[in-house]
């Protein structure tokens, strides 16, 4: 039942997860996608790397590129102090609609601003829209070919400042070779690779953490 995979994930969450308990929603998504049908959430293994980075950075402002069902959005939002905000961009209306409902079930929607549109169109509007000077953390998990152009766009829009942390999913699988080459060879970044596995599978993947040096 449920016309789409995101819809089937949402229905499983609504039936099995505890309302207002983000950890139970995260677990529900992971058990559905590990046992019933695979989906492109960052997952529990890479999710623990994401958790560690969020807890270390303690960000006031977070940008996420690629919301999908809101799984990583929840993982980040549940660790944000009151007053901190998470802006997440999704170009697929259906994904965004499902994510909104999953974030609501988890009880983290108050700290999240979910914008629907392409990252290249939305990024230039963010500074003015949220009256912010820079992001403290950027989680990159959208089209793999957009990682590099959007990182350069963030630089050009003055949305990165010395110390801003970029964390990119899937740098091994499906891969983002041009992005990796850029952050690993640019003098403006200190980059480090975190080996892991593709969500719910025994396949190599990893995340790249890159600190912008200004
Ligand atoms: O394509 C991915 N994500 C982007 C989805 C569309 C983003 C749309 N958007 C949002 C904002 N601007 C644009 C992705 C893919 C895979 C994967 C891995 C192996 C495989 F065999 C098939 C797929 C694993 C992931 O973890 C991923 O994140
Ligand atoms: Mg991903």
* SS3 state at 43: helix
What span, in angstroms and rounded, lies between the C-alpha atoms of 208 and 172?
Answer: 9
Selecting among 46, 100, 134, 144, the annotated active-site residue is 144
Which of 188, 190, 168 lies closest to 179, judged by CA?
168
pLDDT at 201: 98
* SS3 state at 52: helix
pLDDT at 63: 99
- For the chain, the average pLDDT equals 98
Model confidence over 55-88: pLDDT tens digits?
999 999 999 999 999 999 999 999 998 899 999 9
Element (H, E) at 59: none
Asked if 177 and 156 count as a contact pair (C-beta separation under 8 A), the reply is no
Model confidence over 157-182: pLDDT tens digits?
999 999 999 999 999 999 999 999 99
Asked if 167 and 147 count as a contact pair (C-beta separation under 8 A), the reply is no
> Would you give the DSSP letter of residue 212?
E
What span, in angstroms and rounded, lies between the C-alpha atoms of 39 and 28?
Answer: 13
CA distances from 41 to 74, 78, 125 (A): 11, 16, 27
**Residue nearest atom 5 in ligand 1 by C-alpha distance:** 142
Q: Establish whether 136 is a catalytic residue.
A: no
- Is 0.95 exceeded by the ipTM? yes
Model confidence over 7-26: pLDDT tens digits?
999 999 999 999 999 999 99
| Residues lining ligand 1, Cβ inside 6 A | 40, 65-66, 89-92, 119, 141-143, 169-170, 173-174, 198-199
Selecting among 30, 109, 141, 208, the annotated active-site residue is 141
β-strand partners of 209: 167, 192
pLDDT at 188: 98
What span, in angstroms and rounded, lies between the C-alpha atoms of 98 and 2?
Answer: 12
pLDDT at 90: 98
**Residue nearest atom 14 in ligand 1 by C-alpha distance:** 40
β-strand partners of 138: 63, 166
Probe residue for ligand 1, chosen from 4, 38, 40 as the CB with the greatest number of ligand atoms within 8 Å: 40
pLDDT at 132: 96
Give the number of the atom of ligand 1 that is nearest the alpha carbon of residue 41: 26
Q: Is the dihedral of CA 161, 115, 62, 190 positive or negative?
A: negative
pLDDT at 2: 85
Element (H, E) at 189: strand 189-197
What span, in angstroms and rounded, lies between the C-alpha atoms of 40 and 9?
Answer: 12
126 pLDDT tier (thresholds 50, 70, 90): very high
Element (H, E) at 45: helix 43-57
């Amino acid at each position: 039942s449920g016309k789409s995979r995101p819809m089937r994930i949402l229905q499983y969450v609504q039936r099995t997860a505890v309302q207002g308990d983000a950890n139970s929603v995260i677990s529900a998504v992971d058990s559905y996608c590990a046992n019933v049908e695979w989906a492109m959430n960052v997952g529990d293994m890479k999710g623990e790397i994401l958790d560690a980075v969020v807890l270390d950075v303690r960000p006031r402002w977070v940008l996420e590129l690629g919301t999908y069902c809101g799984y990583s959005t929840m993982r980040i939002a549940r660790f944000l102090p009151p007053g901190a905000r998470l802006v997440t961009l999704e170009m697929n209306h259906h994904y965004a609609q499902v994510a909104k409902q999953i974030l609501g079930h988890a009880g983290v929607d108050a700290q999240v601003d979910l914008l629907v549109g392409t990252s290249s169109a939305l990024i230039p509007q963010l500074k003015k829209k949220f009256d912010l000077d820079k992001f403290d953390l950027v989680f990159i998990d959208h089209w793999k070919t957009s990682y590099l152009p959007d990182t350069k766009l963030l630089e050009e829009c003055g949305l990165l400042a010395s110390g801003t942390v970029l964390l990119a999913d899937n740098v091994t699988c499906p891969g983002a070779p041009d992005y990796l080459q850029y952050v690993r060879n640019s003098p403006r970044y200190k980059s480090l690779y975190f080996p892991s596995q593709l969500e719910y599978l025994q396949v190599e993947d990893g995340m790249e953490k890159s600190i912008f040096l200004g």
